[in-house]
Amino acid sequence: MRPRVGLSQGYAEGTRENGISRFLGLPYAAPPVGDRRWQPPGRPEPWEGVRDASRFGPVCPQTRGASFDLRVSAQSEDCLHLNVWTQTLEREARQPVMVWIHGGGFLGGAGSEDAFDGARLAARGVTVVTVNYRLGAFGFAADPAVGSNFGVLDQIAALEWVAQNIDAFGGDPGNVTVFGQSAGAASVRALLSARRARDLFHRAIMQSAGFEPAAGLPTPPGPERTMDATRDLFARLGGDAGTARKASTEDVLALSVDLAGVRPKPGQVHTPANLVWTPVYDDRDVASGDDFAGWPSQVPVILGCVENEARYFLPPSAPFPPAMVENMAAVLGGAHREGVLDLLNTSGATTYEALDELFTTAIFTEPALATLKRFAALDRPLYYYRFGRVSPGLKASGHLAQHTAEIRYVFGNLEPADAYDDTDAALSADMQNAWVSFARTGVPALPDGSPWPRHHGGDPAMTVITHTLRAEPFTTTKLTDLIHSLRP
């Protein structure tokens, strides 16, 4: 017999396999189509009878950005669906809830991607939720007359749905962890800044993003750039939002990609700092900036990076001339361009290795350091990790511990199997244990059961993840310190 639950909208029937029930493609908001395009998400519509929840819903319109197999071919603006995995449907179970927000540069991805399948994580006694949200210009156009942050509002609507319905899946609405990677981690930071999200989650994990803007950028990302792109978008679609709402999905998508900032200038490489369609801190109740209005003082946070973030964006097989390092040092090194080049030139690194180190440090590691200092000054429960495990598959390809490398370990989905070994399997179990421990208690656990060291301003510490997890004193590199000195 297929598992069935009663929700606020009606009954839904999922599937069960290997002791895990899964419910896919559940709508958490009204379809944002027609006049609802560039509007806050509406309340989800009820249905009659029993809804078939055995298949993922359509992904949000996209042409790039997904890191893994979407497992869905259909695309639609009617994409505000979520998926749930759980081993129990007993309301009294009160399991911790883990809500995953996918990455993809706010341009692609979905909660259906195979690396995010929640079955193995749910087997550890948590209720797992993955969410779709509006992408690109559909989710992040910003106009004073229309509004902004529609993708963030979608995420808040999903958390409101969780608060109302998750007990039907054995989950505890009073113990919700939001976690995400890349754009998903930036979304978590936006939720920390959203008054409307306050008390909808109780722990937060930010993987490889959600940090300060890069220190060396002369003009960091901001509302002006997004608003300029939005004005251009509306102008090309007829002149205003009302007319643009009548444009086809295909036309909006094409312009969304064209204006997204994904094409680097000649002689440079693309970095996530170039992206235009991102949350806008607007000093409203959606994303209120650096006062973190959605972050109660007792909510703990994990944040972390991987060692070779840049290699996800820089294919090891591509030719990179030495001049590329000089160009990117000018872009990312700011006033310390010459000092940056001296450090890279004296390290003995190849051109590709130097690009990796500079890109990873300037876009991820140093901004994470700045965020650690900001969060530590707020005296919140804070944990930091650095992931450096290189699986056999990533070693053979030269990608090493690239951006996204940790995700399959967190979810336990080490596939294809021939790309991982027994060390990876053991590490995945330890990482799942740490993430679930954090979701359950607010404190991540080391393999021996002891807690991760907290990161304090006066006594900084971190957890290093290679073949296992271990506590170490917090350290930085000379390049990180040099770029960090650019900050006021």
- Tell me the pLDDT tens digit for each residue of 116-139: 999 999 999 999 999 999 999 999
State residue 283's pLDDT score: 62
At 340-378, the pLDDT tens digits run 999 999 988 999 999 999 999 999 999 999 999 999 999
Confidence (pLDDT) at 220:
67
Q: Is the pLDDT of residue 288 over 80?
A: no
Residue 236, pLDDT > 70, answer: yes
The number of distinct structural domains making up the chain is 1
Distance CA 337, CA 99 (A): 41
Q: Tell me whether residue 450 is in a domain.
A: no
Is 375 in contact with 283 (CB distance < 8 Å)?
no
Q: Determine contact, residues 140/148, Cβ cutoff 8 Å.
A: yes
Average pLDDT, integer, range 281-287: 71
Q: What is the pTM of this model?
A: 0.97
In a domain, 26, yes or no: yes
- Compute the distance between CA of residue 45 and CA of residue 25 in angstroms, rounded to an integer: 14
**Mean pLDDT estimate for the chain:** 95
How much is the average pLDDT of 286-313? Answer: 90
pLDDT above 80 for 267: yes
* pLDDT for the residue numbered 162: 98
Asked, for residue 372, whether it belongs to a domain, the answer is no
**403 lies in some domain:** no
* For range 408-416, the mean pLDDT: 98
| Alpha carbons 274 and 475: distance in angstroms, whole number | 28
Q: What is the Cα–Cα distance from 23 to 130, expressed in whole angstroms?
A: 11
In a domain, 371, yes or no: no
DSSP 262: -
Calculate the alpha carbon distances from 292 to 193, 198, 284 in Å.
4, 10, 12
Q: Provide mean pLDDT across the span 227-239.
A: 95
Query: What CATH number does the domain containing 238 carry?
Result: 3.40.50.1820
Q: How far, in Å, CA of 100 to CA of 122, rounded?
A: 12
Q: Which pLDDT score, from 0 to 100, does residue 285 have?
A: 66
3-state percent breakdown (helix, strand, coil) of the chain, nearest 5: 35, 15, 45
Which residues form the domain of 138? 1-299
> What value does the mean pLDDT take over residues 259-285?
88
**Is residue 410 within 8 Å of residue 431, measured between CB atoms?**
yes
Which segments within 188-286 are labelled E, that is strand?
A: 203-207
140-193, pLDDT tens digit by residue? 999 988 999 999 999 999 999 999 999 999 999 999 999 999 999 999 999 999
At residue 388, does pLDDT exceed 90? yes
Question: H/E element holding 20?
Answer: strand 20-27
Does residue 410 belong to any structural domain of this protein?
no
Coil, strand, or helix at residue 207? strand
Query: What confidence score (pLDDT) does residue 458 get?
Result: 79
Which pLDDT score, from 0 to 100, does residue 222 have? 76
pLDDT in the model for residue 278: 95
- Mean pLDDT (whole number) for 9-35: 98
Does residue 469 lie in a domain region?
no
Model pLDDT, residue 291: 74
49, pLDDT greater than 70: yes
Quote the radius of gyration of the chain (alpha carbons, Å): 22
Whether 311 has a pLDDT exceeding 80, the answer reads: yes
Asked whether residue 24 carries a pLDDT value surpassing 90, the answer given is yes
- Helix/strand/coil for 363: helix
Chain CA centroid to CA 180, Å: 4
| Angle of the 322-332 helix axis to the 337-346 helix axis, nearest 10 | 140
Contact by Cβ (8 Å): 362, 381: no
How confident is the model over 67-105, as pLDDT tens digits? 999 999 999 999 999 999 999 999 999 999 999 999 999
Residue written as token pair 């404190």: 443
Q: In the chain, what percentage of residues exceed pLDDT 70?
A: 98
- Residues marked active site are found at 182, 309, 403
